[in-house]
Amino acid sequence: MSRDSMNEYLNPLLERYASKEMSYIFSPRNKFSTWRKLWIALARCEKELGLPISDEQIDELQAHVDDIDFDLAKKYEAKVRHDVMAHVHTYGDSCPKARPIIHLGATSAYVGDNTDLIQTRDGFKLILGRIAGLIDLLRSFAVKHADTATLGFTHFQPAQLTTVGKRACLWMYDLVMDYNDIKHYLDNLPFLGVKGTTGTQASFLTLFDGNHELVKQLDMNVTRSMGFKGSLPVTGQTYTRKVDYQAASLLSGLAQSLHKMANDIRLLQHLKEVEEPFEKSQIGSSAMAYKRNPMRSERMTSLCRYIISLCQSPAMTAAEQWFERTLDDSANKRLSIPEMFLSADACLLIAVNIADGLVVYPKVIARHIDDELPFMATENIIMACVKKGADRQDLHEKIRVHSMAAANQVKMEGRKNDLIERIAADVSFGLSENELKDLLDVSTFTGRAPQQVHEFIGDWIDPLIVKAEKDGKFKNSELTV
């Protein structure tokens, strides 16, 4: 790193969090080389439909698609104050024969907006792979711990038992919803296509001597050549900014899912029941050497919060557009959309890293269950006694008294919960030690949680993973910690 760079702001998303793959998608090189690919596609399709463009001109454009002189483009932009025209001139300097037909009939939105949609498409493809990889890791975790009973929590107060694997299924289902929503968005994502200055295609109609069918064909051919199934049916100069808001909303939804998962892990780590990975030489605190902070989950919640907050910007931009276009969207789009994708990418990399190394402490979980299960078992105990002929109301009152005494011992004196011992010593209940032990069998308190894990994975997760692998949407590389 140069000394000068230390005097400039460095974006943490690029320096610390997001992957090189996602960074490249929104990089200047990818952006401006995509502009050139769009100009080539336009020229090629115009030639195929009869405009006087030569193979030599297209070959020249193709030969210089990647060798962009950024310094020259910067000089042109300082002069003409227009980024697209700066790159038209820069490209033209490299391609003198093709210069006359670069950007023929197009407006700035042709390259700007279509590139934005390509970046959105490619960004979501990478995101889908990350989600599939995360779901696959959580699947293995859920299967391994499908039968591991643990306290359920409502209001963060001990509630009926569930299993560690079932809780992981809650995380997975949120992610399945995100995966399916993003996939649906991608399957229906339209291209701007070739629409002209106010969306009327007037310039192209002039180029093709008033032939409407050729203009429609040009729009279709360019769209398909860039990998899209169809273009927007009507536009102003730009595509409707609701497309951006929809993308932002999907990223916000993903962030909500990851935030919830990370918060659960943070709370479980406080309880010492489950921990995120902790490296051998990792330092939890500069002052307190014993600490094992859930720093990955904390980082993930921090980035997720940023994504959720950014979602408001595309919403406001979509609402603020005037007629066929205004330019107050541009600066906002340059910041909010890429940063949401970069942040989501970073969150998924962290989540994958956590899921790949989650540690469960069954003995701690069992101790916590032992502390609370006597209270939860009271209704089962009453029912067992009633079957033997006891009076429910009498036993209910006795259990209430015993429960209050046991709770007082736990809370006021810091002692072990001795409710079961109190019931065993009370002849009114008439239960043997073995009978009480059977009534406290943990597996009878988890309901169908273990079965739900296997059913959910078989019906929902396995098909998704198989389809994702078949489609090539599987990415777990560049794991960050």
Q: Cα separation of 472 and 481, whole Å?
A: 25
Q: Cα separation of 335 and 340, whole Å?
A: 9
**The residue to which tokens 């779901």 are assigned:** 135
Which residue type does 17 have? Y
Instruction: For residue 96, count CB atoms less than 10 angstroms from its CB and return exposed for 0-12, middle for 13-18, buried for 19 or more.
Output: exposed
- Residues annotated as catalytic are 155, 285
**CA quadruple 267, 268, 270, 274: dihedral positive or negative?**
negative
Instruction: For residue 62, count CB atoms less than 10 angstroms from its CB and return exposed for 0-12, middle for 13-18, buried for 19 or more.
Output: middle
The residues, any chain, with a CB within 8 Å of residue 338's CB and separated by 6 or more, are: 26, 119
Q: Cα separation of 360 and 167, whole Å?
A: 13
The total number of residues shown for the chain amounts to 481
DSSP state of 174: H
The answer to whether the CB of 352 falls within 8 A of the CB of 475 is no
Q: What are phi and psi of 418, to 5 degrees?
A: -115, 25
Question: Pseudo-torsion of CA 446, 164, 416, 442, nearest 10°?
Answer: 30
